[in-house]
Amino acid sequence: MVADSSAGLGAVLLLIGGLLYFWQRKRVFDRTNQYGVEQFSGFWGKLVAKAKDKLIFGIAITLLFGGLLTVAFAYEATWGWIVLLPVYLFMLFLVIGV
């Protein structure tokens, strides 16, 4: 029961993160003209648009990694250890390597 709710939460996080990532890419595409150059209304418009894009991208990547780790922890006994192995090795590096 716990694995199912964790896997469901992870799937929702993956879905929301994926949608945010594609929305961020669509924002960039909509600003691009036929020559591949992004069009902005002005300097401040560019700053605001780029800041929003970076914020959306950061949230999307965080949700994608969070969802992936949540699903991997839910199924660690079967296949999740393959996904979590780099995480465990990085934690071991932090403990021993520093």
Give the distance between the most distant pair of CA atoms in the chain: 54
Number of folded domains that form the chain: 1
Which structural domain, as residue segments, surrounds residue 39?
Answer: 2-97
Assessment of whether the complete model's pTM goes beyond 0.85: no
Question: Is the pLDDT reported for residue 90 higher than 90?
Answer: no
* 57, burial (CB in 10 Å: exposed 0-12, middle 13-18, buried 19+): middle
**Residue-wise pLDDT tens digits, 54-74:** 999 999 999 999 999 899 888
Other Cβ atoms less than 10 A from the Cβ of 53: the count is: 16
* CA atoms of 21 and 83, how far apart (whole Å): 21
According to DSSP H, which parts of the chain are helical?
2-31, 43-74, 81-92
